[in-house]
Amino acid sequence: MKAIVLAAGYATRLRPLTDTWAKELLPIGGTPILTSIVASIQSVPDVDEVHVVTNAHKAPAFVEWAQGREVIVHDDGTSTNEDRLGAIGDMQFVIERAGIDDDLLVIAGDNLFEFDLSEFVRYWRSKETASAIAVRDVGTRELAQRYGIVDLAEDGRVRDFVEKPEDPPSTLAATATYLYHRAHVPLVRTYLDDGNPPDQPGRLVGWLYQREPVYGWAFDEGWYDIGDHEQLLEADNRFRREQGLPERAAYSPD
């Protein structure tokens, strides 16, 4: 199995902080988000390669971070938010560049979670030729409006997927943690060639479940989607509390 961490976005909602920092390298409780994600990936015995895809603006910081780590960094060559490839475009960029012909674990670089990835992989393997997504009940319909909302059959198979609905049918949200069976990996190219939106990785799931089996694996451990200043501060203070550090009224990477 290969893993891709998506880290090529421009994090415009976190400016001006992200004018000088890559969002994925911002420390949460003293540890960069990307460091935590990669540690979780590398705890999965099935994974034999970890790829991180970023943009030309952030690539030097990622290359420096990767020194001494078993991680391959890819620069997708984009330099502005306007010419970005999009999350699904970046997936295909790495698939082609690295020649990936294997099962694929894909995680967004701002997706901070506390569940055991190995449990997710074990669940997915029980479904034979299928892909899977990690899902969590976010509790309120207000929060559900921010995410892709999933409806699961009794056996866990995805039977509906709505991206950021104004009127969410439920509060079961898709997190940016995906497992694609090797038989489904070539369909990323098909999705893009058909003219579908290259951004927002959940859109690929919304397209794929209508063609191939996709299952949802539910967890209730901690999860943070680090998208804005409020979420960043909340996550940082949560991890600071766990380490016995004082909480802060405003986030600082120092």
Is 221's pLDDT higher than 80? yes
Is 226's pLDDT higher than 90? no
Q: Label residue 91 by pLDDT band (50, 70, 90).
A: very high
DSSP state of 157: B
Is the Cα dihedral 113, 118, 124, 127 positive or negative? negative
Is 19's pLDDT higher than 90? no
Q: Which amino acid is at 206?
A: G
Residue 78 sits at the vertex; the CA angle it makes with 72 and 81, to the nearest 5 degrees, is: 120
Q: Which amino acid is at 246?
A: P
Q: Kindly give, in sequence order, each residue whose CB lies less than 8 Å from that of residue 144, ignoring residues fewer than 6 positions away.
A: 138, 165, 168, 170, 171, 173
Structure tokens at 24: 């994925």
The mean pLDDT value of the chain amounts to 92
> Quick one: pLDDT at residue 183?
97
Q: Kindly give, in sequence order, each residue whose CB lies less than 8 Å from that of residue 7, ignoring residues fewer than 6 positions away.
A: 22, 23, 24, 34, 52, 53, 54, 58, 62, 109
The answer to whether 3 touches 95, Cβ cutoff 8 Å, is no
> Quick one: pLDDT at residue 165?
86
Mean pLDDT of 88-101: 96
Mean pLDDT of 215-226: 91
**Helix, strand, coil proportions of the chain in percent (round to 5)?**
30, 25, 45
Residue corresponding to tokens 């790495």: 94
DSSP state of 15: T
The answer to whether 5 touches 74, Cβ cutoff 8 Å, is no
Q: Kindly give, in sequence order, each residue whose CB lies less than 8 Å from that of residue 89, ignoring residues fewer than 6 positions away.
A: 76, 192, 198, 199
Question: pLDDT higher for 194 or 82?
Answer: 194
Mean pLDDT of 154-177: 91
Question: pLDDT higher for 247 or 82?
Answer: 247
DSSP state of 127: T
Q: Label residue 211 by pLDDT band (50, 70, 90).
A: very high
Please state which of the ranges 62-66, 164-168, 217-221 shows the lowest mean pLDDT: 164-168
Q: State if pTM tops 0.75.
A: yes
Query: Which CATH number is associated with domain 2-128+177-216+224-242?
Result: 3.90.550.10
Q: Label residue 163 by pLDDT band (50, 70, 90).
A: confident
How do residues 102-148 score in pLDDT, each as one tens digit? 999 999 999 989 899 999 999 999 998 999 999 999 988 888 888 88
Residue corresponding to tokens 């995410």: 147
Reduce the DSSP state of residue 105 to 3 states and report it. Answer: strand
> Quick one: pLDDT at residue 88?
96
Domain range annotation of the chain = 2-128+177-216+224-242
